[in-house]
Chains A and B, each alone.
Chain A
Amino acid sequence: MDIRTPIPTNGGDWLARFGEAWKAQTDALKQKFGEGVEEVRLPPGYPTDVPVVYVRKGALIDVLRYLRSEPGFEYGFLADITATDEMSDPRFEVVYNLLSHSRLSRIRVKTRVRDSEEVPSATGLWAAANWAEREIFDMFGIRFAGHPDLRRILMDERWVGHPLRKDYPLKGYQIFTEPEEIKPELLGGSRPSAPHLELPSGITVEHDPDDLWSDSRMIVNIGPTHPAMHGALRMAAKLNGETIEDAYCSFGFTHRAKEKLGENRTYHQWIVYTDRLNYCSALVNNVTYAMAVEKLMGVEVPERAVWIRMIVSELARITDHLVCVGINAVDLGAFSYFLYGFHQREEAYTLIEKLCGARLTTSYTRIGGLMQDAPEGFEKEVKAWVNRTRKVVDEMDELLTGNKIWHQRTIGVGIFNKEDCLNFSYSGPNARAAGVDIDLRRDQPCMFYKNVEFDVPIAQNGDVFDRYAVRLEEIRQSLNIIAQCADRMKKGPIWSEDKRVRIPDKDVVFNTMEGLIHHFKFFMTGFEVPEGEVYSGFEAANGELGFYIVSKGAPRAHRMRIRGPSVYHYQGLTPMVRGEKIADMIAALGSINIIAGELDR
């Protein structure tokens, strides 16, 4: 085995399936754009999981547009935009990860840019590019020409410097004493469309100096510590009566620099940081991250470990969905519903505690294996839990799904249709609620998802009720998957035999010199990951969770990018609630399940 070439593991016949097509596609691109395409790097010649197309800045938007809609390409889904700091000339690379829903393949477009140069903005092609580009501006200082609103997004507006540049110190703290101010100018752009609030005749109101538009419209600040804002989100809404005429969202209130830490911790050390992404379903993050690094290194995981990984992924999905629907119901006043879900979640946490000793922040996977084997009789306990949870989910279903108040608060509220979903890069249950028929577990199968039976629930309207219904049905499907996995799990090793990643057993460490040295090297310097890059996306509870890792052969990543689905979902909130009542905003926000840890990273 040539360890310098990554082998597509985890569901892997990718190279066989797509190798020819990639060659044809990149040749067609070269022919079409000539000089515009600088360079094409293809696997297996270059260690990457999908073709990388380097494009000149001038041709970037044309290439992206062509890739998006040209038959034979149809990369209509913008999975992610990010950048890397190469510390050379040209200094930065802006990276576009695209996914084709119809052809189920991926491609990566890159463009090189100097420190002071601007990149043309892709906001005209995908609305989702807006925040992604703002984040790149915030983190790297790359400016985008034609971007409608290029401001800082994660960091405070008074921040100096760009944290993800290699020359920004990891501990370059900056402290502020005053919170960020509301910006009315962001809300004043367009004249209101809803009818003006009429006062009864005979009543006159003196002009209020706080009335910014002199038409009794007002700005309401919601968050970052509002009970309905799920942690630390902030929205400033311009209201006409109770109707939201315009709004803008801000976030970054829990930014913990996980991407910067990814460049400063070894691959093994960084596992703990993945827990704290979407902390409602930490196990999925662990699994996805481990799969990404394994894909980069070409490490195969033994069968038992994969089955356990599938069980814990689905367990995490269920706990996440239970929290989401429970909290959504609490926000709308249905408190007891939340208690049903939370009890079942507690039982799931007991199971997770048995696996790894922690409830929430599990750090259960290791690169190439698992922290420890499932305890004796785990399968039985899981199946018993599955049976109990089935009953509880049915009960929850009866309690709320037919409830008239629930219908009135959710049906037709917060509609986000299929086009919007694709435009804003929605994924996961939120996209499926609007009829986007994509589930990476089924469509880009990794682990043993091909070998288990499950349905992918789809709804059509894309409103709050549909998102709720899809989640509830997904819980049932995940329960089915867990039961099947528990049946098919066999005894066996849980560690890959690959010496590079396997943590030496304790008796070897304590009894042999080589083992001790190996152990010491493993934890002090970490294992080296061969040069290459990989984007590994998996269907996490909320949508497509992706890790884009660029390695330069060191024990620490050169770039550790996290594609959190919440960022793209939160970006869609403003168009989703424009024109709705402010109380419906709470319903809509609860239904798209924004998790601050994943949003702010």
Chain B
Amino acid sequence: MSKDGSLGYLTTRLQEAINWGRKNSLWPLPFGTSCCGIEMMATLAADYDMARFGAEAIRFSPRQADLLIVAGIINTKMAPVLKNVYDQMSDPKFVISMGACASSGGIFNVYSVLQGIDTMIPVDVYVPGCPPAPEGLLNALLQLQDKVARADTHSQRRMAEVAKGNLARL
């Protein structure tokens, strides 16, 4: 589009156009369980405002979301629930593991805590911190946007393999 508003031409590959759209309209499902959930709320509130990056449409239904933000501890009682939620999301789906508990168990190396959600579901971006500051989550979102634009997330790579016929459809 030219500056005067008249239409010009923009050539791109269809897949890139789709990914551009995807990365700028991530719909998060906030799986906030503990302290990180509070910082995630702060990120969504006015001061940090995740809406600036096109990710303000919070959906608690896995059917309507494509970004799972796991914010907080997942223990052995919650792990099957998380797996269910992840399985119910439709492709392409992305996962941010926010905070030390979700990423590795953090300071809680104990009987009840899952030592990292990546033992259960694939994770695209990890956010360090206990809890991470809102800036950390925003940075993770930007990183994820880059990955989505490059079609480099777990879900997109699998979809590409399925399209090539190398992998069976789930």
Contacts and interface: CB of A to CB of B under 8 A. Distances in A.
B35 A257 contact: no
B111 A172 contact: yes
A596 B72 CA distance: 11
Interface string A234-275: 000000000000000000111111001100000000001101
A343 B101 CA distance: 27
Interface stretch (B16-24, B77-85, B138-146): B77-85
Contact of B76 (A176, A226, A596): A176
B109 interface: yes
Given A156-B77, A254-B75, A596 B33 contact: yes
Interface stretch (A51-59, A129-137, A162-170, A562-570): A162-170
B111 A179 contact: no
Nearest to B30: A227
Size bin of chain B's contact surface: 35 or more
B60 A226 contact: yes
A280 to B, nearest CB: 6
A232 B33 contact: yes
Size bin of chain A's contact surface: 35 or more
Contacts of A256: 73, 75, 101, 108, 110, 112-113
Interface string B74-99: 01111111011100000000000000
B112 A257 contact: yes
Chain A interface helix/strand/loop/mixed: loop
A359 B111 contact: no
A253 B35 contact: no
Contact of A339 (B45, B84, B111): B45
A174 B111 contact: yes
Contacts of A31: none
Interface centre among B32, B60, B75, B113 (most CB of A within 10 A): B75
B37 interface: yes
A176 B80 contact: yes
A97 to B, nearest CB: 25
A231 interface: yes
A284 to B, nearest CB: 15
Interface of A: 155-156, 163, 168-180, 224-227, 231-232, 252-257, 260-261, 272-273, 275-276, 279-280, 323, 338-339, 342-343, 345-346, 349, 359-361, 596-597
30 contacts: A156-B76, A156-B77, A163-B111, A163-B112, A169-B111, A171-B110, A173-B111, A174-B76, A176-B76, A177-B80, A177-B83, A225-B81, A226-B60, A231-B34, A231-B72, A254-B72, A255-B112, A256-B108, A256-B112, A256-B113, A257-B113, A275-B35, A323-B38, A342-B41, A342-B42, A342-B45, A345-B42, A359-B133, A360-B38, A361-B35
**Would you list the 10 A-B pairs with minimal beta carbon distance, nearest first?**
A279-B35, A257-B110, A342-B45, A227-B60, A179-B80, A253-B78, A339-B46, A172-B111, A232-B33, A346-B47
